[in-house]
Structure 1
């Protein structure tokens, strides 16, 4: 007997069952790594033309594969319970960025601390390039779960794989869930470095030319891989 979710959507793409397990595992890892706690944050992954997303108001510790919600690209529930209140920016990001396969949202300590200062994270360390540019942008504050937050996030994520949400938290993107989680961990580390540097003085920021050289170096390493 096959599981209800064991159905390939195209060619050799992952089954829905596999994606559900990966999304649940990633949500648990976000908690284990201290990037989220309780019912905070949410995660999604592209599933063909649809999206699998974590449910609203359910602690990860209580979450099962069947609790994950299947929605269409407009946010309509196709299967499951009520999706995360932040479903709008998950849909909007995945619709706008075809190269992105997963979206993670966290209330991690250091990213949220910098977001509460309303600061972009500048090129305080060359690894800032992992997020796609010379900075990690921070949006102005706006209420959660509304279209305005999604619009602000999309702008802050332009040419980027991460942004901070003012007085709120962080969004990290990736080609898949593993990639998005890797970006999230790096951004949290960079925010910690920035916070610690600010506590001592004003950090030295790398120049645009220095960051250009870093990006070229990263491209070389990717070619070798």
Structure 2
């Protein structure tokens, strides 16, 4: 597969690609939401009114010319006025997404603004969020109240009793902000069901962002034998699968696989995970990186885990909605829900924020055969294992366990498998 270069895609193709992702991710409905792009001529390409978002084609996209004339088979979205208003007040914004994703709608109807300090990249990607008072959908008044928020510098706005609207420098930037903001809200909501979400200080986020990786030296030359290429294929498949199943979002997630000895392959930063391709993967060999490529900022951690744990051959570092509920509340995730959960995971301890920074020993002293996964507070879950598919299976089991616990929180007190039953499992499956 060749990597998509969205900058060379026609606006109508970008729009159909992204609205399809939004719809299939369950972040909008057949009739809900609208997105647009303004091109270099000042023409605005926008989704049509009253056309099924699940089957939208490039030929359905409408162009509203700079002079106000309309090209297309359909009427432009009824919300076109606020798209136009945003572009007029913020010329650097080139793409706008509006939809009604469940978590963001939840906040809009209780009239709350999400605190994006819940996880580092939410603050970095989304920034502070604006709030637009209710106005009639499709009205010029709605365009005015939204534009006022964007004029203040916000790139994402909660629309009272309506949903959200975000802008970006291009369509991928807007989508990443939209997806990350919805994930941020889900994390807050799910965390509130089991405890009290804790937020990072600006200083903690700055410390995270200032962790510019000490880049490994580059190799003089790189080779890609067949077993190395097979690993690239496996990594891409798992990353795409994780995105499809909601176990990774486009702005966050790292996968690595041991190759030979302590050499390994790892995903890069700043590449949309849903579009990651073989050539994006970075080879780490003999303590050096593949020429011309930058590996994940967590490369040091992966490298040390492999060096100290010969039984570990793959690592997934990601954010999933229900596991992050435990991460942001520092609540203990008791995996003694069903036998499979305990057999696969045994224990998932919470590690302090910052324990994943380069040079820290906490995670390295915790990961073991008996503790294959850890939660890093307000950051991520790290899962280790032998074969990559098995590691992914552990991630799925952990997320399903967390989901069951969050959903059960309103029903009553958790009754876990007891110590005697755990010991029976240990004797049968782990001896």
Same fold (TM over 0.5): yes
Which residue of 182, 185, 206 corresponds with 1:188?
A: 182
Larger relative contact order (CA 8 Å, sep ≥ 6): 1
8 Å Cα contact 2:126/2:177 also seen in 1: no
Per the alignment, residue 94 of structure 1 pairs with 87
- Report the CA distance shift for 1:24/1:126 in structure 2 as closer, same or farther (over 3 A): same
CA shift at 1:166, angstroms?
1.1
CA shift at 1:155, angstroms?
2.9
How far apart are the structure 1 equivalents of 2:211 and 2:49? 38
1:57 aligns with 2:50: yes
How far apart are the structure 2 equivalents of 1:88 and 1:164? 17
Which residue of 33, 39, 55 corresponds with 1:47?
A: 39
CA shift at 1:108, angstroms?
0.6
CA shift at 1:101, angstroms?
1.3
- What's the Cα RMSD here? 2.6
Per the alignment, residue 6 of structure 1 pairs with none
Per the alignment, residue 390 of structure 2 pairs with none
CA shift at 1:41, angstroms?
0.1
Instruction: For residues 101-138 of structure 1, give each alpha carbon's deviation from its aligned partner in whole angstroms, at most 9, with x where no partner exists.
Output: 110111111111111111011123323323443x3233
Stretches of structure 2 that go unaligned for 5 or more consecutive residues are 1-6, 214-268, 271-292, 295-431
1:118 aligns with 2:111: yes
How far apart are the structure 2 equivalents of 1:215 and 1:95? 35
Per the alignment, residue 262 of structure 2 pairs with none
Instruction: For residues 138-192 of structure 1, give each alpha carbon's deviation from its aligned partner in whole angstroms, at most 9, with x where no partner exists.
Output: 3222221112222222233332221211111111221111111111110110010
8 Å Cα contact 1:110/1:188 also seen in 2: yes
Secondary structure, in 3 states, of the residue corresponding to 2:158?
A: strand
Matches within 5 A, 1:196-211: 196-211=190-205
8 Å Cα contact 1:139/1:153 also seen in 2: yes
Per the alignment, residue 174 of structure 1 pairs with 168
Stretches of structure 1 that go unaligned for 5 or more consecutive residues are 1-12
Which residue of 109, 116, 123 corresponds with 1:129?
A: 123
Per the alignment, residue 19 of structure 2 pairs with 27
Q: Which has the larger displacement, 58-67 or 88-97? A: 58-67
1:79 aligns with 2:62: no
How far apart are the structure 1 equivalents of 2:59 and 2:32? 19
How far apart are the structure 2 equivalents of 1:215 and 1:52? 38
Number of residues paired by the alignment?
Answer: 207
8 Å Cα contact 1:197/1:203 also seen in 2: yes
- Report the CA distance shift for 1:196/1:214 in structure 2 as closer, same or farther (over 3 A): farther
Which residue of 47, 70, 75 corresponds with 2:63?
A: 70
Secondary structure, in 3 states, of the residue corresponding to 2:210?
A: helix
- Report the CA distance shift for 1:163/1:131 in structure 2 as closer, same or farther (over 3 A): farther
8 Å Cα contact 2:93/2:168 also seen in 1: yes
- Report the CA distance shift for 1:68/1:191 in structure 2 as closer, same or farther (over 3 A): same
| TM-score, structure 2 as length reference | 0.44
8 Å Cα contact 2:126/2:181 also seen in 1: no
- Report the CA distance shift for 1:214/1:41 in structure 2 as closer, same or farther (over 3 A): farther
Instruction: For residues 48-96 of structure 1, give each alpha carbon's deviation from its aligned partner in whole angstroms, at most 9, with x where no partner exists.
Output: 211100111111234322221111357x242122110110111111122
CA shift at 1:42, angstroms?
0.2
Q: Which has the larger displacement, 59-68 or 26-35? A: 59-68
